[in-house]
Structure 1
Amino acid sequence: MDFFAVLASILSLFVVIGLGFLARRHGLLDAGRVHTISHILVNIALPALTISSMQVPDTSQAMTMVDSTLAVAFAYYIGAFLVSLVVCHFLPATGTEKGVFRFMLVFPNVGFMGIPVAEVILGPGSLFYVILFNLPFNLLAFTLGVWLLAGEKAGRPDPRVLLTPGLAASILGLFLFLVGYHIPYPADATLDWIGKATTPLAMLVVGALLATLPSARLAGDWRVYLISAMRLLVFPLIAFAILSLFVTDRLLLLSSVLLIAMPVAANTVLLSEEYEVDATLASQGVFLSTLLCLATIPLLDFLFF
């Protein structure tokens, strides 16, 4: 692993978080503007990124690994979901907080950080697996994830809360991928261009939300550290132990474990802000887990890669 390249890719996210933090503290971003940016991200930038990330060239070799990769990804999400229900049942928290903690446990940052980090550690050949692993994320984050965050707040699961542009984009992107249709220029370039705005704007929102906290609360409490430890170390260690028994393709194995080891997804903040749940708690989870992954990713690289 090129340690400094990985470190630089993670630190760059913190630079943008810092800019968002300073912009909020100095009045350049108020609560209304932050909510507007989040709304644009959830309804425009993220759907564009979802569709463009699914525009993958379909070679015969790549297609042979589609089923295996999707099976591993869905197996992880099912397992993580069940574990999150058990852990959060015993975790002292309000109903809204438990929804955020469950989302934090289930959904790693497989897109914003997973793609650049995997390319650095495992090489460009891993990107096909990474993009395939993102397909279930795109489908589940806007269905299961939205229900985890907003279901209890609404009192009962509301199907209307699942009807989002993100879900529509995931279904459309998956359909285009399966039929092998490639969006022509300049539409593909436009989607890619809009999608690339997601990461910096998402980090600005995280920083702006963190700026509303007293300095003593930026570090969060022990519950956030527990969730971060499970997300960054416990889940990837368990995944490696289980997947190594069934997955023979080593690049698929390492790509899956690396993605499972990513910090809390930035979507946690965006969707928490969009559906008006505890966006502050979500920001603490994203901030701390991303900070801690500066140590955990090199550790896992030393152990497995």
Structure 2
Amino acid sequence: MNLVLTVLEIVAPVFLLAAIGFGWVKLGFEYRLEFVTRLSMTLAVPCLIFTALVNSTLEPSAITAVTLASLVAYIAVSIVTVIVVRLFRLHQGTFAAPLIFGNTGNLGLPLALFAFGEVGLEYAVVVFAVMAILSFTFGIWLVAGAGSFGKVLKEPLVWATVLGGLFLWQDWSLPRFADNTLSLIGQMAIPLMLITLGVAVARLSPGGVGRAIVLSALKLVICIGCAWVTADWFMLDHAAFGILVLQVATPVAVTSYMLAAKYGADADAVAGLVVVSTVMSIGALPLLLAVLL
């Protein structure tokens, strides 16, 4: 009973905030998705990542292990997913990237914080950064047939991770006023991301729901399996193990829909994956957390 209450305390704020965004749109209120997304990804999330790393109590060796484990886990997920896509004779440009990369930002970071505390958030930003770099290179190549490494270099969250890692490695600290300011900006990130997730889902027009149910279930199994084996192989500690599995297992991100629309893939099919996998995660992620805690 205590475990059930603990899991509910973790997931309830996450999905309630997303529900607020969903309800906001359905009630007809204005929500400037592009502006809020830009504010979040350009300012709030980089500040959250940077301050989490600067104030981290983790050993550099632990961060290195999680970085390598994240890379291996996503490589394993990519190999299995591409095989599944070809076996099902699906369009690789439409389905491969959404099934590989999950919502490690909007959903993964808040869940990591609520489930494992500040240490969990510190691990989660590392997984998030690895996913972001792979998504903007290999992910775009899967969708469009061409990578975009230059886009990675323009992403503030990547530089926030690099600078935060440098501060951590050199054991540097920020002046109190700067730390307080950046921390305050970073605190916007989690509620903004969750509400925006609800708004984005509410505005999607899903297609191929039956197929999306099957593929979302397969994504969950593949991601959990690959991440679990990888975390065990790297012998990660309890918190790092849980964070890696949780982050890799997050549902399809809304950014996958945006990339599909931009590069001419089947955006409606990807929208179906986003909606179905997000709804599925309402039941799946609490069960996964019950095992990981």
2:164 equivalent to 1:167: no
Within a 5 Å distance, the mapping from 1:197-208 to structure 2 comes to 197-208=188-199
* Alpha-carbon distance between aligned partners in 2 of 1:237 and 1:158, rounded to the nearest angstrom: 29
Specify the alignment match of 2:28 in structure 1.
Answer: 27
Equivalent residue for 1:106, pick from 101, 104, 112: 101
TM-score computed with the length of structure 1 as normaliser: 0.74
Q: Cα gap change, 1:176/1:84 in structure 2, threshold over 3 Å: closer, same or farther? A: farther
Percent identity reads 20
Q: What is the SS of the residue equivalent to 1:28? A: coil
Aligned: 1:186 with 2:177: yes
Match of 1:221 among 209, 216, 220: 209
Long gaps (5+) in structure 2 = none
Per the alignment, do residues 235 and 213 of structure 1 end up closer, same or farther by CA in structure 2, a change over 3 Å counting? closer
Q: Is the 8 A contact 2:71 2:130 kept in 1?
A: no
The one-letter code sitting in structure 2 at the alignment partner of 1:106 is F
Shift of 1:145: 0.6
2:6 paired with 1:9: no
Q: Does 1:296 align with 2:293?
A: no
**1:237-291 Cα deviation digits (max 9, x unpaired):** 4443464455275554445434444x226xx325754895477666654554344
The size of the alignment, in residue pairs, is 288
**Structure ranking higher in helix proportion:** 2
SS in 1 for 2:175: coil
**Residue of structure 2 equivalent to 1:209:** 200
Q: Show the 5 A alignment for 1:116-265.
A: 117=111, 124=117, 127-128=118-119, 131-141=122-132, 143-151=133-141, 156-162=146-152, 163-213=154-204, 217=206, 221-241=209-229, 243-244=231-232, 247=235, 249=237, 252-261=240-249, 263-264=250-251
Does residue 1:269 correspond to 2:254, yes or no?
A: yes
Q: Which runs of 5+ in 1 are unaligned?
A: none
Q: Distance in 1 between matches of 2:194 and 2:239?
A: 29
Q: Which amino acid aligns with 2:175?
A: P
Shift of 1:295: 3.4
Secondary structure at the counterpart of residue 37 of structure 2: helix
Distance 1:66 1:41, change over 3 A: closer
> Which of 74, 89, 97 matches 2:71?
74
Q: 8 Å contact 2:44–2:186 — kept in the other structure?
A: yes
Q: 1:54 to 1:237 in 2, by over 3 A?
A: same
For 1:76, give the aligned amino acid.
A
The range that moved more, 178-187 or 239-248, is 239-248
Q: Residue 145 and residue 21 in structure 1: after superposition, are their counterparts in 2 closer, same or farther (change >3 A)?
A: same
TM superposition score normalised by structure 2: 0.76
Cα pair distance change 1:151/1:67, threshold 3 Å:
closer
Q: Verify the 8 A CA contact 1:6 1:117 in the aligned structure 2.
A: no
- Structure 2 Cα separation of the partners of residues 235 and 199 of structure 1: 23
Partner of 1:45: 44
Asked if the contact 1:69/1:129 (under 8 Å) is kept, the reply is no
